[in-house]
Chains A and B, each alone.
Chain A
Amino acid sequence: MDRFSWQSARSPTEAATLGNTTVAEAMLADPALSAAADCVVLKAGGIDLLDLMKEGLLRPGRVVNLRGIPGLDSIAEDAGGLRIGALATLEQVATHPTLRQRYTALADAAESSASPQIRHVATLGGNLLQRPRCWYFRSAAHRCARKGGEYCFAFTGENRYHAVFGHDDCAIVHPSTSATALVAFGAHVELTNAQGSLRTVPLSDFMVGPAVDIMRETDLRSGEVLTAVVLPSMPASTRSAFLKQAEKPSFDWSIADVAVVLDRAADGRCQHASIVLGAAAPVPWRVPHAEAALVGQTIDATVAHAAGQAAIAGAAPLRHNAYKLPILATLVRRAVLQAAA
Chain B
Amino acid sequence: MSGDNLRSEKFPVGIASVGLAEIERRIPPDEPPPLPVNSALQVIGKSTRRQDGRAKVTGAVRYTVDIKLPGLLHARVLRSSLPHARVQAVDTAAAARQPGVRAVLVIAPRDAIVRYVGAPVVAIAATTPAAAEAALRQVRIDYATLPFVVDLDTARRPNAPLVYQAGEQPSLAIAEIPVASGLPLTGNVRGPETQGSRGNIDQGFAQAEMLVESDYRTQTQTHCCMEPHAIVADWRPDGLTVWISTQFTAGVRHELAQTFGLKLNQVRVKVAAMGGGFGSKSQLGSYGQYAVMLSRQAGAPVRLVLDRAEEHLDSGNRPATSQHLRIGAQRDGTLTAISLVEYGTAGVGVGAGVGNFAQALYTCPNFSSAQNDVFINAGRGSAMRGPGNTPGAFAMEQAMDELADKLGLDPLTLRDRNDRSPVRREERRLGAARIGWDRRHAPGADPGPIKRGIGMAQSLWGANVQTNAACEVRLLRDGSVEVLSSVQDLGTGVATVLAQVVAEEFGLQPSDITVRIGDTDFPAGPPSYGSRTTASVTPPARSAAWQVKQMLFRQVAPTFGVAPEQLVVGNGQVGVRNDPTRAMSLRAAAAGLRTDQLSVVASRSDDYGGFRRRMSDAALAQTDLGGVQFAAVAVDTETGAIHVERVVAVQDCGRPINPKLIESQVQGGVLMGISYALLEERVIDQHTGHVMNADMEQYKLVGVRETPSIDVVVLENYQGQSATDAYGIAEPANIATAPAIANAVFNAIGVRLRSLPMTPAVVLAALGSVPQGS
Q: Complex Cα distance A133/B760, Å?
A: 20
Known: A135-B698, A248-B700. A325 touches B638 (CB 8 A): no
- The answer on a CB contact under 8 Å between A139 and B771 is no
Contact pick for A251, options B703, B769, B772, CB 8 Å: B703
Most buried by B among A2, A139, A142: A139
Contact pick for A156, options B687, B702, B705, B769, CB 8 Å: B687
Q: Which of B23-31, B472-480, B677-685 lies on the face that meets chain A?
A: B677-685
- The answer on a CB contact under 8 Å between B688 and A248 is no
A157 contacts B by Cβ under 8 Å: yes
- The answer on a CB contact under 8 Å between A323 and B81 is no
Interface residue tally of chain B, by bracket? 35 or more
How distant is B178 from chain A, measured CB to nearest CB, in Å?
34
- The answer on a CB contact under 8 Å between B81 and A160 is no
When C-beta atoms are compared, the residue in chain A nearest to B449 turns out to be: A330
Known: A319-B773, A326-B769, A327-B764. A245 touches B641 (CB 8 A): yes
Residues of A within 8 A of B687 (CB): 153, 156-157
B681-718 vs A, Cβ < 8 Å mask (1 yes, 0 no) = 00101111010110001101011111000000000000
How distant is B305 from chain A, measured CB to nearest CB, in Å?
15
How distant is A325 from chain B, measured CB to nearest CB, in Å?
6
A78 contacts B by Cβ under 8 Å: no
Known: A136-B692, A139-B692. A318 touches B639 (CB 8 A): no
A255 contacts B by Cβ under 8 Å: yes
How distant is B189 from chain A, measured CB to nearest CB, in Å?
25
Q: Complex Cα distance A160/B760, Å?
A: 11
- The answer on a CB contact under 8 Å between B698 and A141 is no
- The answer on a CB contact under 8 Å between A158 and B692 is yes
Q: Complex Cα distance A249/B764, Å?
A: 18
Most buried by A among B686, B765, B773: B773
How distant is B449 from chain A, measured CB to nearest CB, in Å?
8
- The answer on a CB contact under 8 Å between B764 and A326 is yes
A320 contacts B by Cβ under 8 Å: yes
A residues 135-174 touching B (CB-CB < 8 Å): 135-136, 139, 141-142, 153, 156-158, 160-161
Determine the main DSSP class of A at the interface with B.
loop
Interface residue tally of chain A, by bracket? 35 or more
Determine the main DSSP class of B at the interface with A.
loop
Contact pick for B771, options A1, A248, A325, A331, CB 8 Å: A325
- The answer on a CB contact under 8 Å between A141 and B760 is no
Q: Complex Cα distance A278/B702, Å?
A: 23
Residues of A within 8 A of B685 (CB): 136, 153, 157-158
When C-beta atoms are compared, the residue in chain A nearest to B643 turns out to be: A249
B759 contacts A by Cβ under 8 Å: yes
How distant is A180 from chain B, measured CB to nearest CB, in Å?
17
Residues of A within 8 A of B581 (CB): none
- The answer on a CB contact under 8 Å between B700 and A247 is yes
B761 contacts A by Cβ under 8 Å: yes
Contact pick for B679, options A139, A161, A248, A320, CB 8 Å: A248
Known: A157-B686, A327-B639. A321 touches B773 (CB 8 A): yes
Contact pick for A247, options B679, B692, B765, CB 8 Å: B679
Residues of B within 8 A of A161 (CB): 698
- The answer on a CB contact under 8 Å between B771 and A245 is no
Q: Complex Cα distance A252/B693, Å?
A: 13
A186 contacts B by Cβ under 8 Å: no
Q: Complex Cα distance A255/B678, Å?
A: 15
How distant is B129 from chain A, measured CB to nearest CB, in Å?
10
A1-13 vs B, Cβ < 8 Å mask (1 yes, 0 no) = 1110000000000
How distant is A99 from chain B, measured CB to nearest CB, in Å?
23
How distant is B79 from chain A, measured CB to nearest CB, in Å?
11
B392 contacts A by Cβ under 8 Å: no
How distant is A280 from chain B, measured CB to nearest CB, in Å?
14
- The answer on a CB contact under 8 Å between B683 and A158 is yes
B residues 547-587 touching A (CB-CB < 8 Å): none
Q: Complex Cα distance A330/B693, Å?
A: 28
- The answer on a CB contact under 8 Å between B705 and A248 is yes
Residues of A within 8 A of B679 (CB): 247-248
How distant is A51 from chain B, measured CB to nearest CB, in Å?
9
Residues of A within 8 A of B769 (CB): 323, 326
B774 contacts A by Cβ under 8 Å: yes
- The answer on a CB contact under 8 Å between B773 and A248 is no
- The answer on a CB contact under 8 Å between A153 and B639 is no
- The answer on a CB contact under 8 Å between B770 and A325 is yes
Residues of B within 8 A of A325 (CB): 770-771
Q: Complex Cα distance A316/B686, Å?
A: 22
Residues of A within 8 A of B693 (CB): 135
Q: Complex Cα distance A247/B759, Å?
A: 7
Residues of A within 8 A of B761 (CB): 160, 320-321, 323
- The answer on a CB contact under 8 Å between B704 and A250 is yes
A223 contacts B by Cβ under 8 Å: no
When C-beta atoms are compared, the residue in chain A nearest to B764 turns out to be: A323
Q: Complex Cα distance A323/B765, Å?
A: 7
A residues with a Cβ closer than 8 A to B are 1-3, 133, 135-136, 139, 141-142, 153, 156-158, 160-161, 245, 247-253, 255, 316-323, 325-327, 330-331
Contacts beyond the supplied A248-B678, A325-B771, A326-B770: 4 A-B pairs with Cβ under 8 Å: A142-B690, A245-B641, A317-B773, A323-B770
Which 6 A-B pairs rank lowest in CB-CB distance, beginning with the nearest? A250-B703, A323-B761, A250-B705, A249-B705, A330-B638, A135-B692
A sample of 9 inter-chain contacts (CB < 8 A) reads A135-B683, A139-B692, A141-B690, A161-B698, A248-B703, A249-B706, A252-B703, A323-B769, A326-B769
